[in-house]
């Protein structure tokens, strides 16, 4: 149990505060206020006017700077929606304030600070959870249950593809996608890599190769259209991942592709293949192929889910005294994989992944964030 906050067995709404009132806060606030397990009580941002506007729009009673959340006596869990460079610092401040943390991805921008955050939280009896919670959506969870139930036999291999021409085609300030801490692996990898780990278990090593189509990119949208900027990270990356349980996975991440193809995620077994939904969505189609034909196909609606269901699972897990499914340890493992990919590209050699997270079982069929389920 924690130093403060969520008592085991509690089914009362838990006080939640959001730090960061940018674009993604709208998605979180839209969904969190529909979930009976949580009560959003405070919203903080360095831009206090923006925090106040969001608080007014969504009926949040308190707003101000980040301290309006970190110091609020009714906040038991902080939802960290700041920019990636601030994730580690804000999450650490929340833990030191005695609060559980749900962070947007990535958990941090280096292994050392992310590990220190998790260790400090554990020492204080607090939990850290981390996005993406799309992987807890009913679509991917249905695919994971099918794999675990043996629908296609012994798990054998995974495939993930995310490729498009790049965010410079639509984002008005795309530079951060193409500099240190960016690139298609760190930006989109968490969705696909988390899904592969949930399907096949921890990764033990990676071999990766990558490059970039060009050293300069051009802003193509917004008031700065035509401006050039440098590219300093690989923008096309191929990866082979080995899982401790025996299977291997292949992944392609690209911001250089003339072919836009995203959401490709497949789980191959000894007797068939499951085509899973896009891991960046909450619902979708789950298809099982056996012997070259479709053996089963189910359209899985998102069923009231959206960004924030990781917070709901975390609240329910805390009340039950178990580890959240989208745990900080799982997020750290995915971060470890992503840095290993970068290191393998730089060295040309395989890189071991030494972290070993707990991998949760799939959510039970019918799990519903809209209904408190004791």
| Token pair listed for 210 | 């990558």
Q: Are 252 and 162 in contact (CB under 8 A)?
A: yes
For 205, residues 6+ apart whose C-beta sits below 8 A from its C-beta are 241, 242, 340, 350, 351, 352, 353
How confident is the model over 46-60, as a mean pLDDT? 97
How confident is the model over 37-47, as a mean pLDDT? 97
Task: Give the whole-number percent of the chain exceeding pLDDT 90.
Answer: 91
pTM metric for this prediction: 0.94
Region for residue 363 given its phi and psi (left: phi exceeds 0; alpha: psi -120 to 50; beta: otherwise): beta
Averaged confidence pLDDT in the chain:
94
Q: Report the pLDDT value the prediction gives residue 7, as an integer from 0 to 100.
A: 46
Helix ranges (H only) for the chain are: 23-32, 48-58, 67-70, 87-96, 111-123, 138-148, 183-200, 309-320, 328-347
Which pLDDT band, with edges at 50, 70 and 90, does 304 fall under? confident
Q: What is the DSSP string of 230-289?
A: E--S-SEEEEEEEETTS-EEEEEEESS-SS-EEEEEEEEESS-EEEPPPTTSS-EEEEEE
Place of tokens 């040309």: 348
Query: pLDDT tens digits, residue range 317-357?
Result: 999 999 999 999 999 999 999 999 999 999 999 999 999 99
Q: Report the pLDDT value the prediction gives residue 374, as an integer from 0 to 100.
A: 57
| Token pair listed for 186 | 């760190």
Distance, CA of 265 to CA of 142 (rounded, Å): 13
For 10, residues 6+ apart whose C-beta sits below 8 A from its C-beta are 319
Q: Report the pLDDT value the prediction gives residue 373, as an integer from 0 to 100.
A: 66
- Does position 2 have pLDDT exceeding 80, yes or no? no
Distance, CA of 95 to CA of 83 (rounded, Å): 18
Q: Report the pLDDT value the prediction gives residue 180, as an integer from 0 to 100.
A: 83
């Amino acid at each position: 149990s924690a130093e403060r906050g969520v008592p085991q067995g509690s089914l009362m709404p838990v006080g939640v505060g959001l730090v960061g009132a940018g674009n993604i806060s709208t998605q979180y606030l839209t969904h969190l206020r529909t979930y009976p397990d949580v009560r959003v009580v405070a919203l903080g941002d360095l831009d206090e006017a923006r925090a106040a506007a969001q608080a007014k729009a969504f009926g949040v009673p308190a707003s101000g700077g980040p301290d309006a959340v970190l110091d609020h006596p009714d906040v038991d869990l902080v939802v960290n929606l700041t920019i990636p460079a601030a994730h580690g610092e804000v999450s650490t401040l929340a833990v030191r304030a005695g609060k559980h943390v749900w962070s947007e991805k990535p958990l941090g921008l280096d292994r050392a600070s992310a590990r220190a955050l998790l260790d400090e939280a554990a020492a204080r009896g607090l939990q850290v959870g981390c996005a993406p919670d799309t992987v807890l959506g009913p679509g991917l969870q249905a695919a994971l249950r099918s794999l675990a139930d043996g629908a296609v036999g012994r798990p054998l291999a995974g495939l993930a593809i995310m490729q498009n021409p790049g965010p410079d085609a639509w984002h008005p300030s795309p530079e951060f996608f193409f500099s240190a801490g960016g690139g298609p692996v760190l930006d989109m990898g968490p969705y696909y890599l988390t899904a592969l780990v949930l399907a096949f278990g921890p990764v033990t090593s990676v071999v990766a190769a990558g490059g970039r189509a060009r050293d300069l990119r051009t802003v193509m949208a917004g008031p700065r259209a035509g401006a050039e900027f440098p590219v300093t990270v690989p923008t096309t990356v191929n990866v082979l991942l080995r899982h401790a349980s025996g299977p291997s996975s292949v992944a392609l991440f690209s911001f250089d592709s003339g072919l836009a193809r995203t959401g490709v995620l497949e789980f191959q077994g000894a007797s068939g293949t499951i085509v899973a939904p896009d891991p960046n969505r909450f619902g979708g189609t789950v298809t099982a192929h056996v012997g070259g034909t479709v053996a089963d196909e189910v359209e899985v609606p998102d069923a009231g889910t959206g960004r924030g269901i990781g917070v709901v699972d975390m609240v329910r897990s805390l009340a039950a005294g178990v580890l959240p499914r989208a745990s900080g340890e799982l997020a750290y493992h995915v971060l470890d994989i992503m840095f290993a990919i970068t290191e393998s590209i730089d060295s040309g050699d395989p890189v071991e992944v030494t972290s070993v997270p707990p991998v949760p079982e799939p959510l039970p069929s019918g799990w519903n964030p809209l209904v408190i389920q004791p």
